[in-house]
Structure formats: C-alpha cells, structure tokens
Amino acid sequence: MKKKAIVLIYGEGGHKAQMKRLYNLLIKNNRKNDVVFIGICENNHCIEELEENFSVEFLRGKYENYISFLIRLPFRIIKYIKILKSILKKYDIVGVISTGPGIAIPFSLFFKVVGKKIIFIETWSRFNTTSFTGKIMYKIADKFYIQNKSLKRFYSKAIFGGLL
Amino acid sequence: MKIFVTVGTTKFDSLIEYIDTHFDPKQYDIFFQIANGDYIPTNFPYVRFASDIKKFFLKNEVIITHGGAGSIYELLELGKKIIIVPNLERQDKHQLDIAYFMDQNNYAKMVLNIRELNSIIENIHLYKFRKFKKKNFFKANEILDFLLK
C-alpha cells in the first residue's frame, strides 16, 4: 500500500528557507495525518523533517553560463527522470508544491503530465522583476502564488498570499 | 560602533575584503559571517556560518547584509538598522530587486558601490528608516484544501 504524499520541491538557500516556513504552516493545518511530505532538494540541502528527501543537481548553477547550462541540460534531465520513477514507485502522489528555482520546472512538468496538481509560490525576493522559473511556472501551475502584491502586474492570474 | 556583516549562504569576497581592509579596528568593532568565502579576514573576527545568527543580529548596532531576502526580512522584523549590498558576483543579479525596493521605500539603505560604505557608516546615526511591516503568508490552508480535495 503506497503512502499518500505531497511533493515539496525546493532549491538551496532562500528557496529552502521559504519551503521550511511553508512546511511548518502546512503541518500545523494537516490534521488528517495520512498524507506525508517528501522533498526534492538541491545538492543535499534538504529539510530533514520531511518523510524522505531526493537530492538532485541544480537545473542552472549560481555562476553557470548559458552554454554550460545547455550542454549539461540533457544529462540533468535524465537523472531527474530516474528520481521521478523512484518517487512514483514508492508513493501515491497527490500534488506538488514548489518554491523554485529551476528544478521546479522539469519536475512540475513531469507530475503535471501524469495528472497531478501543481502549486508554485514565486519567491519573496521579487518585487519589480520576474524570475525565469516564475515565468514558466505561471503557465504550468494550477495555482500560482505571489508574496508581494507588486508582482500582480506581471502575473494577472496570480494569487497574493503574503510573505513566508 | 558594533557592526555585523552577513553574506548568507553564498560567498561575497569583495565585500568582506573591502571592509576588512578599509575600516579602522580602533574605531569599529566588526564581526564577519563569510559563508564559503575564499578571502579570510585578518583584521576582524569571523565565522563561516552561524546556527544562531539572531544573537549576532541582536547584539550589533548596524548590520551590513547581502541582498538575500531571508536575511533582510529577519533583520527588519527585529527592527535593525541595515545596509544592503547586493551580491553582484553571482551570475544572476536578482538581489537588486529587493535592495532597490527597501531603499526606495526607506526601510533600509542600499549600497551598490562598496567604497561608499565608509561615509555611510560614519553618518548612519543620521538615517531614520521606516518600520517594515511583514504581512504573513495566509494561504497554507487553501493550498492543502486544493491538494487534498
């Protein structure tokens, strides 16, 4: 019997910090208790409290230029697919929540293709600019949350949710 | 004056090196948090990471911080006087966004040219910042309901 699970996808640094705060809010309200939270994290920077974490390489590095990114992309995608298969084998996935950055895109797309619900929360550090990940996730997510009202002019269908 | 310098989880060598070599240890009591930085300060003490960074925030008068939102929100919630120096050593320059926002709304002072730090610190007592009021995230229930229905 596979456990029901919500997948949390988050990169390191601020993305992890935001997801940790969201997770604390989610478990406060998750009185049902039959749903667990699993993580897809970047480079072993994982939230230990989750049921299980799957660490992956970043989609694009902090200092990586576009050429390197394009060359390495297919290899990273292949590794991501392996992780995805392990997750689907072990858990009955209900949906996916992500705080970015780039790793949110391939995994959200994969889970969307297999019919799962997709939630994305744009980062707390954006007020007057959009992120690469945000622009793409806006088209993929079932619900797209922004933490700063000023972003509404870029994402008209976004839901303002306040700051994590 | 007691000053704490934090770079978060990404190294910011140019900031650390500038402050280490351009501030007088007789006049300033400075402590660095340098992450995985390659430059090692020689004139002031440092740590790479601080598990309880809040205590450093609380006991220093002024904090010079990188443009990381997590650091900025935590500092403003504590009511600290902060100078934001966006880390432009990174490939992406997203730290400029929040730094500009905070500066333009007078919640903090943004510095793009680190050479300006000396005069800004000298005059920091003249800066009167507005208090930033954080609207806390209130959509956790909505998210859970949507996923579990």
Which of B70, B97, B137 is closest, CB to CB, to A128? B97
CA geometry: angle A45, A134, A128, nearest 5 deg? 110
Q: What is the pLDDT of residue B139?
A: 97
> Residue A103, Cβ neighbours under 10 Å: how many?
24
User: Distance from B31 to chain A by nearest Cα, in Å?
Assistant: 22
Looking at the DSSP bridge assignments, the partners of residue A98 are: A9, A120
Looking at the DSSP bridge assignments, the partners of residue B33 are: B6, B47
Q: What is the pTM of this model?
A: 0.90
Looking at the DSSP bridge assignments, the partners of residue A9 are: A40, A98
* Residue B139 near chain A (CB below 8 Å): yes
Chain B residue numbers touching A119 (CB-CB < 8 A)? 143, 146-147
Computed on alpha carbons and rounded to an integer, the radius of gyration of chain B in Å comes to: 17
pLDDT beneath 50, residues of chain A? none
Q: What is the mean pLDDT of residues B8-27?
A: 96
Chain B residue numbers touching A124 (CB-CB < 8 A)? 69-70, 73
- Amino acid A10 reads Y
Cβ contact, residue pair B139, A161, below 8 Å: yes
Which of A13, A29, A161 is closest, CB to CB, to B144? A29
Residue of B nearest to A162 (CA): B137
Distance in angstroms (rounded) separating the CA atoms of residues A147 and A51: 27
Question: Could you report the per-residue pLDDT of B65-113, keeping only the tens digit for each?
Answer: 999 999 999 999 999 999 999 999 988 899 999 999 999 999 999 999 9
Distance in angstroms (rounded) separating the CA atoms of residues A125 and B70: 8
Question: Could you report the per-residue pLDDT of B26-68, keeping only the tens digit for each?
Answer: 999 999 999 999 999 999 999 999 999 999 999 999 999 999 9
ipTM of model: 0.92
Question: Could you report the per-residue pLDDT of B125-147, keeping only the tens digit for each?
Answer: 999 999 999 999 999 999 999 99
User: Distance from A64 to chain B by nearest Cα, in Å?
Assistant: 7
Q: What is the pLDDT of residue A32?
A: 66
Cβ contact, residue pair B8, A21, below 8 Å: no
Interface test with A, best of B11, B77, B147, B149 (most A CBs within 10 A): B147
Chain A residue numbers touching B95 (CB-CB < 8 A)? 125
Nearby residues of B39 by Cβ (< 8 Å), 6 or more positions away = B13, B16, B17, B20
Distance in angstroms (rounded) separating the CA atoms of residues A101 and A79: 17
Which of A61, A124, A128 is closest, CB to CB, to B69? A124
Q: Does residue B33 contact residue B51 with C-beta atoms inside 8 Å?
A: no
Cβ contact, residue pair B139, A63, below 8 Å: no
